[in-house]
Amino acid sequence: MGKNRLETLFDGVLAIIITIMVLEMHIPTGHNIEALWPLAPVVFSYVMSFIYLGIYWNNHHHMLYVCDKVTGSILWANLHLLFWLSLIPFTTAWMGESQFSAQPVALYGFVLLMTSFAYWMLQHRIIVSQGEQSRLKYAVGKDWKGRLSMVFYLAGTLLSFVSQWLALAIYIAIAILWLIPDQRIERSLEHEAN
């Protein structure tokens, strides 16, 4: 099976997720700039989640670029990833509306952890389907970024009960780590071309 349908589904679901997130943001009741201040946690949550969705969209695109074929297990792994991504609007809204209370921040971290795990599973299924000569396997190597991210998401989730701000700082740091598209895949393709 080709990968075009998989990419189209992923793009469509992500577009819907982003639409749901923006619809959760309510218009302020006042008519001056001060009326926006109470919405700052909601806007911050939205921006952080939008960046995360952008990171997943970008890296998913890069990962599928080196995928030669799509198997049934890859389809299920992709749906697993989409499931966890689809929970981001709910946790984003709850975190923003609660002004970063401990339990919403912890749930947000847990969803990020599971999303990261689902992405790793999809990556693993692609590598298995390609065999020992997998371009993706060569590109990601030991995948320290993916493993480190999961450890930090878990730490952030647990730390949210001690300090929500520390947990949020961890989530932001991980986003910064992944903000630049996965250069490992691009470098692998450049090396392959030479």
Tokens of 143: 């995948």
Q: Residues near 138 by Cβ (< 8 Å), separated by ≥ 6?
A: 188
Give the pLDDT confidence of 41-65 residue by residue, as tens digits. Answer: 999 999 999 999 999 999 999 889 8
Tokens 């689902």: give the residue: 118
Q: Residues near 45 by Cβ (< 8 Å), separated by ≥ 6?
A: 92, 93, 95, 96
Give the pLDDT confidence of 136-149 residue by residue, as tens digits. Answer: 888 888 888 899 99
Question: How far apart (Å, rounded) are the C-alpha atoms in residues 183 and 12?
Answer: 25
pTM across the whole model: 0.90
Give the pLDDT confidence of 62-92 residue by residue, as tens digits. Answer: 889 888 889 999 999 999 999 999 999 999 9
Determine which of 91-95, 104-108, 121-125, 133-137 has the lowest per-residue pLDDT on average.
133-137
